[in-house]
Amino acid sequence: MVKGEILICYKTDWRNELLEKAGLTEDRICSTLRAYLYRMADSESQNLYEPLQLKWVLPIESTDGMMVAFKNIIFILGYVQKNRCSKYVVNQIIENDVQPITSEIRDEYDFFIAGTIMVLCSTVDDFSDINEMMELVHEIIGKFIGLLEEAWKMLDSREQVENENTTLREINTDKLVIGMVLKNYKELCILLGEETKTGKAKQLQLKTWKRYFDWEKEGQKFIITDIYDTPLPKEDLRRKGNNSIYKNYIELILLQYLSKQEGYRKTFTKRNWLELLGMINSKYGKEPKIKLKQLDYSINDQEITLFYIRSNKKLERVLHDSLNNLQKEKLIIVEYETIIVSIDSRGIEHRFKANDYQKKRILQTERYILKNVMEYKNMFYVYIKNKSNEYYSKVNERLYELYGWKYYYKQIKIIYDQPNIVDAIPSKEIILQKEILNSKIVQFLNDNAKNVYEKKEKEYEDALDEYLEDWIGDKDCLKNRVKVPNTWKYPKAYIEAQRILTDELIRIGHNNIVFIPDKLLTVAEESNEFLAWMT
C-alpha cells in the first residue's frame, strides 16, 4: 500500500481513461468502479453471479451513508479481486448491487465518491483488509476537505459573479418544443447553449430556467411541458396566486352568483363553473377541431392539443386557488365528486355518485389502458401525442365491458350559507378595487423604469459615438473599453432592481406573485381526466 501525497499519486496510465469515463456519464460512481473492476476481471474465471446482499445506509449523502458506501465499495473490490470474477459478473454486481442505490444521488456526491474510488484504486494493490482500506479512505477525505476549503475561497467570489451573470443573461428557448424529451441535463444544456454546472450553481441555473420554461423529470430525462413567451419574475415560483387580481375577481363573481341562488348548494362540472365565472366562453372544449383549423393556416391538430393542455391546467389552478381561499374563510365547503353514467336495457341513462370502491375500479381501468394498452408512462404522453380521445374512448369501452358504465365525469359541489355570502361581498369589492389600482400603479412604475433605462442608454450611446468620432481604431472594440467623461451610464441590473423595489415597497401582497395573463401559472397539478374534465 502506498500512502503520502495520495491525491496526486495516480497511476498515470489509468488516469486519463478513468477521468474520461467518469465525465461521460451522469452515474460516475458506477462507471469509475466498473473501469477498475474490469482491470481486475478474469474472463476465464468465475462467471456465476450471486447477489452480494450489501447493506446500505440511506440517504447516502449522510455521514453514515457515505462511510457504509465506502465499506461496500471496498468489499466489492476485494470480492472481485479474490474471486477473479469475469466482466459479466462485474456488470451484474454494478447493475444489481450498486446502481439501484447510487443512481439518484446528487451530482456533487456522485463526483466526490467517484474521485475517492479513483484515488483509492490508484494507490492500493490489495483490497483484502477492509479496516486498513477505511483508514486510507479517511485520509483521502481529509485531503479532499483541505483542498476544498482552499478552493472555496477562490471560487466563492468567482461564483458570485457567475451567478449574477446567469440571472441577467436571457435564455434562448427557440430550440425547445413542448413535449420534447431530452435524455439528460447535459443534452438540455447543449440545446440551450448553456454551460453544465454542479452543486449550488446548477440549482441556481435550474431556477433561472424555470422562469423561461417548465419540465417534468423522468429519471435523468427532461420532458418539456411549457415554454413561456415572457419570462416569469425572479421570485420563488412556488408562491403564486394568494393575492392575485384574478383570484379576487373569481371570488367576487362567485359570491355574487351564490348570493342570488335559492338553497344552500350548487353543483356543476369544472367546465361549467369556468363558463359561469367568465373564465371561458361557450365554445371552449366544444368547438369542433375542423372549425378551429379554419381560423388560420397556422392552426392544426397539434396546436389545438397544446392549447388545451396549457390552458386546462392553468384555468384549473386559478379556479382551485379561489375555491380553496373561500373555503379557508369558511364561506363555502367544496366537494369534488365523480359521477358515473350507466345505461339500462331501454337505453335510458342513469347517473349516480361513485363511491370509493367504484373510484378504485375507474383508477384500475385508467392505469390498465395507460400502461398495458397504449404503453405510456404517464398522461403527459397521451396529451402531447394527441391521443386523449383515443385514451378515454378505450377507458370508457373497458368500463362498459366490465361494469356496464357508459362513461364518467367529475363535478364540483359548493355548499354555502347565503347570509354569510351576502355579508362578505362588500369587503371583497373593496379588496378587488385596491388590487386593480395597485396593479396599475406597479405596471406604470415598471414601464417607466424601462423607458428611463432605454432613454439613458440611447443618450449614452450617442455621447459615446460623438466622443470616439476622432479616435483611430476599431470603434466597436473601443466602445467596450472607453468611458465617456462626465457621463453616467445606468447599470444593466437597473430595470430588475427597480422592479424588485416596486414589488417590495408598492405592490400589495408582494410576497405572492400576481398572475400575469397566460404566463404566470406553472404546472401545479397533472389532470388524469382530460376529457372527463371537459364534460
User: Which pLDDT value is given to residue 3?
Assistant: 35
pLDDT, tens digit (0-9, with 9 covering 90-100), for 226-285: 887 667 766 544 344 334 667 788 888 899 899 988 889 999 888 888 888 888 888 888
- CB of 121 closer than 8 Å to CB of 80: no
Beta strands in 209-264 (DSSP E): 213-218, 221-227
Please give the average pLDDT of every successive group of 10 residues along the chain, which has 535 residues: 34 43 59 85 72 83 85 89 86 87 79 84 83 84 71 54 55 83 90 87 88 85 80 53 65 89 89 85 85 84 77 82 91 93 88 94 95 88 82 93 92 93 87 75 80 82 76 62 68 72 65 34 30 39
- CB of 226 closer than 8 Å to CB of 178: yes
Give the three-class secondary structure for 518. coil
User: Which pLDDT value is given to residue 350?
Assistant: 92
The C-alpha atoms of residue 185 and residue 28 are separated, in whole angstroms, by 14
User: Structural domain boundaries of the chain?
Assistant: 6-153, 181-227, 245-419+527-534, 430-505
DSSP code of residue 240: B
Q: Please, which residues bridge with residue 513 across strands? A: 240
Cβ partners under 8 Å of residue 219, min gap 6 = none
Q: Closest Cα partner for 410 from 253, 282, 247, 267?
A: 267
User: Which pLDDT value is given to residue 405?
Assistant: 94
Q: Closest Cα partner for 406 from 364, 476, 347, 366?
A: 347
Q: What are phi and psi of 333, to 5 degrees?
A: -120, 130
- CB of 120 closer than 8 Å to CB of 136: yes
Task: Produce one character per residue of 390-417: b if its CB has 16 or more CB atoms within 10 Å, e if not.
Answer: ebbebbbebbeeeeebebbbbbbebebe
- CB of 497 closer than 8 Å to CB of 503: no
pTM over 0.85: no
The C-alpha atoms of residue 290 and residue 281 are separated, in whole angstroms, by 18
User: Which pLDDT value is given to residue 369?
Assistant: 94
Return the axis-axis angle of helices 28-40 and 63-83, rounded to nearest 10°.
Answer: 20
- CB of 157 closer than 8 Å to CB of 363: no
CA 194 vs. chain centroid, Å, equals 17
Place of cell 476537505: 145
Give the three-class secondary structure for 235. coil
Cβ partners under 8 Å of residue 483, min gap 6 = 489
The C-alpha atoms of residue 30 and residue 114 are separated, in whole angstroms, by 8
pLDDT, tens digit (0-9, with 9 covering 90-100), for 215-224: 888 888 898 8
Q: Closest Cα partner for 402 from 365, 349, 366?
A: 365
Q: Closest Cα partner for 79 from 93, 65, 67?
A: 93
User: Which pLDDT value is given to residue 370?
Assistant: 93
CA 75 vs. chain centroid, Å, equals 38
